[in-house]
């Protein structure tokens, strides 16, 4: 069943104006909150944004690829506590992925908008802009924005043709894995 969900999960950049139900959003957040983390440190924090003005501002934090946030009815900004865990980046990425998969399970679509290490138009960094918009102080790191909602567009499911098994090696790098 999970594999079927994975095949149909595609990044969507155009959303309907329809709001996401609170129950669905809370289930998505729960998925992130129970995701695995190194030494169970859970170095994440989430900021839920459904304010249209803030979504518009967030969409401009990263000029290349962030515009879709403006059209989303809701976004979750994923933050990491680097001082709490040296695996904050991996842990927060897993939490975001769990939320993406739960969004798909809830009948929503999503798109990951990378913020960490991305430039802003003024050269300060997209993370600095996001922190200003949301009033985030201190050493929290901004990993990404998960934009989500009901899709305005559809994309085809992944098929076997999309799975490049030449990237899989068996026992030793360079030894091709043979599909059975």
Assigned domain for 11 exists = yes
In what order do the strands lie in the sheet containing 74-80?
44-49, 74-80, 141-149, 109-114
Q: Count how many domains the chain has.
A: 1
Q: Residue 56 domain-assigned? A: yes
Give the per-residue pLDDT at 179: 82
Inside any domain, residue 73:
yes
135 within some domain: yes
- Please give the pLDDT value at position 55: 98
Please give the Cα distance from 163 to 74 (Å, whole number).
Answer: 31
Walk along the chain (180 residues) and give the pLDDT tens digit of each residue.
999 999 999 999 999 999 999 999 999 999 999 999 999 999 999 999 999 999 999 999 999 999 999 999 999 999 999 999 999 999 999 999 999 999 999 999 999 999 999 999 999 999 999 999 999 999 999 999 999 999 999 999 999 999 999 999 999 999 988 887
Position 166 in a domain: no
Round to whole Å and give the CA distance between 107 and 156.
15
Q: Do the beta carbons of residue 147 and residue 16 sit within 8 Å?
A: no
Does residue 168 sit within a domain? Answer: no
- The parent domain of residue 143 ranges over 2-155
**Rg for the chain (alpha carbons), in Å?**
18
Residue 109 within any structural domain of the chain: yes
99 in any annotated domain: yes
So what's the pLDDT on residue 180?
77
Task: Supply the CATH number for residue 13's domain.
Answer: 3.40.109.10
Question: Alpha-carbon distance 29 to 39, whole Å?
Answer: 21
């Amino acid at each position: 069943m999970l594999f079927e969900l994975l095949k149909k999960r595609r990044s969507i950049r155009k959303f309907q104006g329809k709001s996401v139900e609170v129950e669905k959003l809370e289930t998505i957040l729960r998925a992130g909150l129970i995701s695995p983390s190194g030494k169970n440190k859970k170095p994440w924090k989430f900021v839920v944004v459904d304010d249209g003005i803030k979504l518009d501002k967030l969409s401009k934090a990263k000029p290349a690829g962030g515009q879709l946030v403006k059209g989303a009815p809701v976004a979750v900004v994923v933050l990491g506590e680097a001082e709490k865990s040296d695996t904050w980046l991996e842990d927060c990425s897993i939490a975001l992925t769990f939320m993406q998969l739960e969004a798909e399970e809830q009948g929503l679509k999503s798109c990951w908008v990378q913020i960490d290490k991305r430039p802003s138009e003024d050269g300060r960094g997209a993370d600095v802009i996001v922190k200003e918009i949301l009033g985030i102080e201190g050493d929290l790191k901004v990993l990404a924005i998960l934009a989500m909602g009901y899709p305005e567009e559809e994309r085809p499911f992944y098929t076997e043709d999309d799975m490049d098994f030449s990237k899989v090696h068996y026992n030793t790098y360079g030894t091709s894995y043979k599909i059975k």
